[in-house]
Amino acid sequence: LKGSRGEFAQLYSRVGMALDLEAHKSLSGVDDFNTILASLLPEDDGQSAIRIPGIAEAFLKYSKGNYRRMFKLARGVVRASAIGNQGISVKLIETYAQMLIH
């Protein structure tokens, strides 16, 4: 199935965004991890929670570098911090990580 401009319509409909891989090739895995993590965490007074000392390292440690686990951990930590009306802390990350299924 080709679209009006010659693109493959069926495949094209499945693409959500395009990323120039050459431009991001020099980034390390930790940089990628932190970029994705920063997009998942809320900002407090215009400051990302990832800037709090130890937060990024705790997420990397307890997610074991696994992006799916990091997403679940971040989602749970953000939700728990909102419910408890508290900020994101290393202790909260550690506590919530123990509740995740390994």
pLDDT digits (tens, 9 = 90+) for 32-60: 888 888 888 888 777 777 788 888 899 98
pLDDT at 76: 92
In-domain check, residue 13: no
pLDDT band at 17 (very low <50, low <70, confident <90, very high): low
pLDDT at 43: 82
Q: Per-residue DSSP letters for 9-56?
A: HHHHTT------HHHHTTS-HHHHHHHHHHHHSPEETTEEGGGSTTHH
Helices (H) and strands (E) in the chain, counts: 6, 2
Mean pLDDT of all residues in 74-87: 89
Structural domain count, the chain: 1
Task: List the domain range (segments joined by +) for residue 88.
Answer: 27-99
Domain CATH code at residue 63: 1.10.8
pLDDT at 41: 87
